[in-house]
Amino acid sequence: MSTAWDKAKELADKHVAAGGIFVRLQNDGHKIVGAFCGEPFAKEVYWDGQKYSDTPPEGVAAKPSLRVALNFYVPAEGAMKIIEGGTAWFKDVLEVKDKYGLEKWTFEIKRRGKKGDPKTKYSILPDAQVDEAMRARIAAAGLHDLSSVGGSAEAEDAAPAPAAASPA
């Protein structure tokens, strides 16, 4: 592929991911860079085969899954978004929080797994230190009220397995 093709693919991927307040990493290799902001919002939900809900599906013994949402400032878009994931994903967030501090760095989050794959994983790596100019942009963007926002845009990608992550 030529560099023009690479650039066009990069822009197409960017535009697919834009368009809502949720971070959407829809397929294997998709990634985003941003800063985690504010406090997490955690809740237990049930998978009905198509989407998550707060109540178990009728007539089915269902085990609740953990979903954790965080505000996530995306410098490339100049926007505050919401990123959401399951237990394994959130444990990875806690690891980078303990090692690097979430307020000091932007992080690259990369999806490893095709759409619908219940074994999808996400890598979370430090990308760049947050400077004063970035802090000001983050503060100006403001935080979403995570408790009042509905379900994730990633629900169609999410797996019903309790430890599976989605992202968000």
Residue range 156-165, pLDDT digits in tens? 343 333 333 3
Q: Which residues pair with 45 in a beta bridge?
A: 65
Mean pLDDT, to the nearest integer, of 69-82? 96
Q: Please tell me the predicted confidence (pLDDT) of residue 14.
A: 57
State how far the Cα of 125 lies from the Cα of 47, in Å rounded to an integer: 29
**pLDDT-based confidence at residue 19 (cuts at 50, 70, 90):** low
Q: What is the pLDDT of residue 20?
A: 85
pTM, two decimal places: 0.76
Q: What is the mean pLDDT of residues 143-156?
A: 68
| Segments of the chain assigned E as strands | 31-47, 52-53, 65-74, 79-85, 105-112, 121-129
* Predicted local distance difference test score (pLDDT) of residue 10: 67
Please choose, from the candidates 108, 109, 132, the residue with its C-alpha nearest in 3D space to the C-alpha of residue 122.
109
CA distance 51 to 39: 24
Residue 16 has pLDDT above 90, yes or no: no
Q: Which helix (H) or strand (E) holds 141?
A: helix 132-141
